């Protein structure tokens, strides 16, 4: 028998599901557009296929970061009543930074002749690029989900 109040309104569940999927995808799209605009100078050739590949890579890492870091952070933040937008924005940036460091350390580790110091430097530099989409994804998650409008004292609403 379920507890009273454990049933979640479908509208709130839908907002959470939309936020989990849409926030990292929008951030990945923004990054791919920025990289495309930087590389699409008159002397450079960047095709739509490369832009789509950048979008796909950032989407995969963004969705993984959202599922592995963002969603558990949301549960902890809700219980501690951290519901402000800056909290979610900085958590998104942190999640993007950590996931990018791990991804690039794993990728660059397979390259022969790379020292640990240069590996950490490259991973750190590339991860800084990922912080901005992480910040954007955290802000978009907050805008879609709006945890500041949750009811106090309803522990089931964390998953709404």
Show the tokens assigned to 75.
């549960």
Contact 35, 27 (CB under 8 A): no
Contact 156, 4 (CB under 8 A): no
Contact 160, 13 (CB under 8 A): yes
pTM of the model: 0.72
Q: How confident is the model at residue 3 (pLDDT cuts 50, 70, 90)?
A: very low
Is the pLDDT reported for residue 5 higher than 50?
A: no
Is the pLDDT reported for residue 153 higher than 80?
A: no
Residues 110-119 have pLDDT tens digits of 666 666 666 6
| More confident of the two residues 145 and 43 | 145
In the numeric block, the tokens 């397979």 are attached to 110
Residues 130-152 have pLDDT tens digits of 788 889 999 999 888 887 776 65
Determine which of 11-15, 16-20, 124-128 has the lowest per-residue pLDDT on average: 124-128
Is the pLDDT reported for residue 4 higher than 60?
A: no
């Amino acid at each position: 028998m379920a507890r009273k109040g454990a049933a979640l309104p479908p509208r709130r569940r839908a907002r959470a599901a939309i936020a989990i999927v849409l926030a990292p995808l929008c951030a990945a799209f923004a990054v791919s557009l920025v990289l495309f605009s930087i590389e699409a100078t008159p002397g450079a050739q960047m095709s739509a296929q490369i832009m789509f590949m950048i979008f796909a890579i950032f989407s995969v890492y963004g969705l993984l970061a959202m599922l592995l870091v963002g969603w558990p952070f949301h549960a902890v933040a809700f219980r501690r009543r951290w519901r402000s937008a800056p909290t979610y924005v900085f958590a998104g940036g942190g999640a993007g930074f950590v996931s990018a460091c791990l991804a690039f350390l794993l990728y660059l580790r397979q390259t022969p002749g790379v020292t640990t110091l240069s590996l950490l430097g490259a991973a750190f530099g590339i991860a800084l690029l990922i912080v901005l989409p992480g910040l954007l994804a955290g802000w978009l998650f907050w805008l879609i989900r709006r945890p500041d409008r949750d009811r106090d004292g309803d522990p089931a609403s964390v998953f709404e």
